[in-house]
Structure 1
Amino acid sequence: MENYSNKFDLKSIGKRIREEREKFGLSREEFAEIVGLSDYYIGQIERGERQMSLPVLVKMAGLLHLSLDYIIFGEDYYYAEYLRESCLNKQKGDPMEEIVGLLHRCSKKELELIKKLLKVILPYLNKLDSMP
């Protein structure tokens, strides 16, 4: 059986997590609070000094709205394929088609505001799903 643990580059995984956290404008402390871990532990993960458990990896991926493919391997197979299919097939009622249509109507200033709002909202969406 092949040993996959040697194929994971913890520094690259940590770097991708840090970059995506920063894209949301979250400090390490804010992200740690959302994830439910200490900021020291998050720092270790982001520096590639610590391997996280699968539940922690899945939780971080969900909060950052990333695929596990992207976090682990740096490539986003599923989402890239989904977007490509959505754009090519343009099925009636597909949420992506409607969202893209709405975004095409926006000015550059409006798009910047929408981007800022998404950065604020997205990390909290999965946290809300897990609340009673």
Structure 2
Amino acid sequence: MNTYDKKRVGQRIRARREALGLSREQLAEHIGRVPRFYADIERGQAGMSIETMLSIGGLLKMSPNEMLFGQDNDGTNHDEIENILAALNQCPEKQRKDALELLRLFLSAVG
């Protein structure tokens, strides 16, 4: 069963915003909210209206399912993908290239 976890929602929103290179202030301005309120959403200290959620989702290209539960409508678990990418980003370049090559080999053997 999916539950609404404001902190996780805020973490997902922040991760996507940072990946897109937007500041909190820029995003708040684009959705017509004050930066303090938007920052509270990212910290999981404030909920948001459906209108605000749709505005954020539209700007960040996130579906409500992805934002709320970390899964897109097709069942893709974006939290798992973000964890994998974060782990790869912490690896030295050679290790990251080796890991990607192993993944390619694995996927070609499965498919």
The TM-score range, normalised by the shorter chain, is: 0.5 to 0.7
Query: What are structure 1's unaligned runs of at least 5 residues?
Result: 81-132
TM-score, normalising length: structure 1? 0.54
Q: Does 1:59 align with 2:55?
A: yes
Percent pairwise identity: 39
Q: CA RMSD in A?
A: 1.6
Cross-structure match for 1:88: none
Q: 1:30 aligns with which of 12, 26, 29?
A: 26
Alpha-carbon separation, structure 2, partners of 1:21 and 1:78: 22
- One-letter amino acid of the counterpart of residue 26, structure 2: E
Alpha-carbon separation, structure 2, partners of 1:77 and 1:49: 26
Cross-structure match for 1:114: none
Query: Per-residue CA shift, 1:52-103, capped at 9, x if unaligned?
Result: 00110011111111111100000113385xxxxxxxxxxxxxxxxxxxxxxx
Aligned residues: 75
The question of whether the paired residues in 2 share the 8 Å contact of 1:28 and 1:43 is answered with yes
Cross-structure match for 1:40: 36
> Where do residues 1-132 of structure 1 align in structure 2 (5 Å cutoff)?
7-78=3-74, 80=76
Task: Flag the 1:43–1:76 CA change in 2: closer, same or farther, 3 A.
Answer: same
4+ residue segments displaced more than 3 Å: none
Higher relative contact order (CA 8 A, sep 6+): 1
Alpha-carbon separation, structure 2, partners of 1:79 and 1:71: 13
Alpha-carbon separation, structure 2, partners of 1:76 and 1:34: 23
TM-score, normalising length: structure 2? 0.63
Alpha-carbon separation, structure 1, partners of 2:31 and 2:16: 14
